[in-house]
Amino acid sequence: MAEHADGEEEWARIAEPNWRGLGLTDPIKSVEDKWLLLPAFLKVKGLVKQHIDSFNYFVDVDIKNILKANNKVTSDVDPRFWLKYTDIVVGFPDRTDADAIDKSVTPHECRLRDTTYSAPILVTIQYTRGKTVVRRANVNIGRLPIMLRSNKCVLTGRNETQLARMTECPLDPGGYFIVKGTEKVILVQEQLSKNRIIVEIDTTKGIVQASCTSSTHGGLKSKTYVATKKGKIYLRHNSIHEDVPIAVALKALGIQSDKEILLLTAGNHEAYKSSFAPNLEEAAKLGVFTRHQALEWIGSRVKVNRRVVGPRRPAWEEALEALATIVLAHVPVHGLDFRPKAVFVATMTRRVLMAMDDEKMVDDRDYVGNKRLELAGQLLALLFEDLFKTFNANLKASIDKVLKKPSRTSEFDAFNTMQFQGDHITAGFVRAISTGNWSLKRFKMDRAGVTHVLSRLSFISALGMMTRISSQFEKTRKVSGPRALQPSQWGMLCPSDTPEGEACGLVKNLALMTHITTDVEEEPIIKIAFMLGVEDISLATGAEIYGPHTFVVNVNGTIIGLTRYPARFVSNFRRLRRAGRFSEFVSIYINHHHRTVLIASDGGRICRPMLIVENGRPRVTSEHITMLKQGQLSFDDFLRRGLVEYLDVNEENDSYIALYEKDIVPGTTHLEIEPFTLLGAVAGLIPYPHHNQSPRNTYQCAMGKQAIGAIGYNQLNRIDTLLYLSVYPQKPMVKTKTIELIGYDRLPAGQNATVAVMSYSGYDIEDALILNKASLDRGYGRCQVLRKNATLIRKYPNGTFDRLADAPVDENGQTQKKYDIIQLDGLAGVGERVDPGDVYINKQTPTNANDNSFTGQAATVPYKNAPMTYKSPVAGQIDKVMITDTENDQTLIKVLIRQTRRPELGDKFSSRHGQKGVCGLIVNQEDMPFNDQGICPDTIMNPHGFPSRMTVGKMIELLAGKAGVLAGKLQYGTAFGGSKVEDMSRILVENGFSYAGKDMLTSGITGEPLEAYVYFGPIYYQKLKHMVMDKMHARARGPRATLTRQPTEGRSREGGLRLGEMERDCLIGYGATQLLLERLMISSDQFQVDACEECGLLGYNGWCPYCKSSKKMAQLTIPYAAKLLFQELMAMNVVPRLVLDDA
């Protein structure tokens, strides 16, 4: 019911005319309006659906698989005892307080109270109690932090009213966790795909190698190489000391005859045959002819990590086990049938031979089709498996401990033991997510920085964070390959949104319509493949595999069989997929170079939807869209009816996709839904990005995240460490379709400033802006900064506790000025103005808080003041005071202090085109130029910003904005579309303006007309978070560091302004010795020392302790740091001696 209501609201909004006067409910002429599928897609999928889908998959499916793999706990002591997990479910988030009546909890409460938004993990167990088998359901084993808006979240499926009741913003995308009150995102991690062969060539060393990282469920990963070394091919694996000649490896895998080896690797290709021949000789030279010999050879070189003490096994057995379970673990070995694995190794070898023959046959590591994205669900699954295994190990240990006791008073009940297992799982999750350290020794995983605090600087920064992808590559490596824009990123990853600097190109963002797959079971897929006529690989010989018309069929990297009719097989397979017989996320494509058909159903592939084109016509017709607008069809129906399908990068490369309907030719297989979806959510804010120089769009992507605006409908209910809000945010005059889809028009960050592009006063050089004082008076650029100040009122172990006190009174009955705003409860009143130095929490701590031997009355102990004082140089107001209890019953007080700021000289502004600038001058309105209508600009921008930046999009934005103002409606600047300049000019002329957007202005100073026409109109300007007030700093005298006695560093410590090396160099070059001396010593750490002319060591009070004399002591002034150095050297047994001489 709730979902239904929500849906209606959503549809009502989408159905409003919003683009070229069209809404979803307007009649559709052709499939031209196919972009309407985009809101439909976002309605089902949403912007952060990848995170949520992944988490849902973990909670609903994967967690059960993990349980199944670890479902039994037995005892070493009592063989009759067993405990079995039969089911696992994750409940809904609830309150942990034992005495709470209302157990329901909202995410916002968790944010405010610094608690974790988590749900219990409940298992069903069966175990033996004495001779009976007991079953218990809903046993709590720990708590799992819940992703917002996932299946298990209370916010899912709620409408705006219900969300408002829970103080939650309907535009908030969810997809993050709340752990100890902070919002944490598990970033998407990019990796090379698993279980696939990657061939690389090292041209400097002349090495060709095929590698494959095997990963099976259970997590153990290992990498196998087939590489050339001195012209011969070897198999290399970590568990084998020495490289195994490939012929030996294949013989060990059961391919005994040389002829068969040759056929499986080189086939009938003469060039391959001749380059493979030496390998057969190598095996013969080593005296390896039979399988047994090969196993012996390998067995003696296998690394044995024997834990169980038992009889030593023969070498061949070791080799057999290693080959079956460790080398290429993902290729199944059933009942010692090594055939599939042999074929796999042979394929790897063949790929090496192919690359040796033709350098073009290597794979591209940076190709997006070879990448897999790891999401929150997968990371949590690994974490859970690790924690669960430890939990079970601990459980087993404590069960053993009890069972070991010879006589027990009562019958042993494992359930009770389980209750006392502590919160290992809960704490493990909380620790991992809040620190971001995924160190799972069991899976050889040690990653730091997996999670990040969700940036709430602006709505866009939060959204941008949810679509971010971080790469595993080291940032320090100076390689261009992984950083470069890959053609295969088209439509999947945003080409503009990447940071500048060291992480450039390594941190990426998803495009608007991308989806990341989750695992799909592969057994049914394999069955379908066989049903469609694939022949089992175990039945094929080398001659058949590499026969002229055969294609090898792979499922998720494992070779399953052969087909002689690849095109027919693929089209049949696709037909089944479009009919919905199996998951729409299974991809299939033909690789003609390798003569393979590849089917992929693994998780982490990037894919996006596309319209299917058949017989030169898109299958989606206007009727379908009519039904879509009437709500009879949803996006999923489009999928189910085979009108739209998801293509992953590999399948996309095997398709012929038309960008527009007019581009459809007979061979076309698909049609793009909308070209602007190739940009991400953040780049989608830029109007006319296709007219800008590309780096400008990238700069805007970085700056859009720093813009001050509205961050959520619940922004005034939040108590964040630092929150920037705009007082009067406006929706942009020039919107894009993306803006509407992501809701930026409802949570904007900027204002439509009337801009005159002209030079004014000289205070506008280097991109500085001139602002109109009257505009500032009227609220332009006004923003608020809210800062959280929190403290705990603690209870100490010795029984004492902190307390709040009212303002202290001196002997005259007066209170000090700084306690003015403290009320009787010891806290500042809400709404009071806080001046610098004022106390807003008058906390007192017991003097003996840490004295654990104290046993007296807690109420009688002496207290000392520990007040919280306001430190900012500018007054603020108390916005909110919150008192609550944390999870461990400490009283938590949060005070939110707000400052309202008006723009001042030096504040940073930016348009949406990567054109940032600081305010250089604030000019009175009467001094501003004005046009015939009497309009004066809010901002004057120097025209020198244009020629070198080439941000033509900004100029068009101005034109479209001006036309929009005159016509009384919003214009569109959507990428690869948007309002046309010609139309905009026409509107201008119709309203009596010059077509070019240039107005005749009159100088406000002289009153005479300006001799040039000025480009004049509205441009959306963002105020960025960098404000002078937070940065300005100067010092004459101030604190010094204790160790070196030099001035402290940094604004926060009221530090000095450093005269650095380069400045020093200048002074040396100039010869200003006295100035140098003054800057570097006298004004810094001047120190008087006594030194002995005799021994050259330092003394004191005119006495040399080394010479035991005061004869030749001299006083000199040196930097304290130098004195420190001498003493530290002496401590290291180095004698620094001063040679003193009169100058």
Instruction: Point out which residues bind other proteins (CB under 8 A).
Output: 716, 727, 773-774, 777-779, 782, 784, 831, 877, 879, 898, 900, 924-926, 930, 932-936, 988-989, 992-995, 1000, 1002, 1004-1013
User: Which of 767, 835, 851, 983 is flagged as catalytic?
Assistant: 767
- In this structure, the number of other CB atoms found within 10 A of the CB of residue 496 comes to 25
Per DSSP, what are the bridge partners of residue 202? 207
Contact (CB, 8 A) for 877 and 663: no
Per DSSP, what are the bridge partners of residue 1087? 1118
What is the pairing mode between strands 551-555 and 558-563? antiparallel
Identity of the residue, 310 or 992, whose beta carbon is nearer to other proteins in the bound complex: 992
In angstroms, what is the minimal distance from the CB of 876 to other proteins? Answer: 10
Specify the residue for token string 């295969």. 488
Is 1141 catalytic? The answer is: no
State residue 431 phi and psi, 5-degree precision.
-65, -50
Residue partners of 68: CB distance under 8 A and separation at least 6? none
Identity of the residue, 32 or 932, whose beta carbon is nearer to other proteins in the bound complex: 932
Helix, strand, coil share of the chain (percent; to 5): 30, 25, 40
Three-class secondary structure of residue 307 per DSSP: coil
Q: Which helix (H) or strand (E) holds 281?
A: helix 270-285
Query: What token pair was written down for 1000?
Result: 């005749």
In angstroms, what is the minimal distance from the CB of 878 to other proteins? Answer: 10
In angstroms, what is the minimal distance from the CB of 723 to other proteins? Answer: 13
State residue 761 phi and psi, 5-degree precision.
75, -10
How large is the angle between the packed helices 523-531 and 566-578, nearest 10 degrees? Answer: 130
Give the dihedral sign, CA 1051/1052/1056/1059.
negative
Q: Give the residue from 757, 771, 783, 767 showing the smallest Cα distance to 1018.
A: 757
In angstroms, what is the minimal distance from the CB of 841 to other proteins? Answer: 21
In angstroms, what is the minimal distance from the CB of 163 to other proteins? Answer: 17
Contact (CB, 8 A) for 1023 and 750: yes
Residue partners of 105: CB distance under 8 A and separation at least 6? 93, 94, 95, 117, 154
In whole angstroms, what is the distance from residue 1095 CA to residue 1104 CA? 9
Question: 937: number of CA atoms within 13 Å, CB side?
Answer: 33
Residue partners of 524: CB distance under 8 A and separation at least 6? 582
Query: From residue 1134, how far is each of 172, 1095, 1105, 1129 by CA, in Å?
Result: 63, 14, 17, 5
In angstroms, what is the minimal distance from the CB of 1007 to other proteins? Answer: 2
Q: Give the residue from 464, 1031, 497 showing the smallest Cα distance to 711.
A: 464
What is the pairing mode between strands 188-192 and 371-374? antiparallel
Query: What token pair was written down for 330?
Result: 């993902």
Burial of 898 (0-12, 13-18, 19+ CB in 10 A): middle
In whole angstroms, what is the distance from residue 939 CA to residue 919 CA? 9
What is the pairing mode between strands 596-600 and 551-555? parallel
User: Residues 70, 72, 73, 77: what is their CA dihedral angle, to the nearest 10 degrees?
Assistant: -130
Tell me which residues are annotated as active site.
Answer: 767
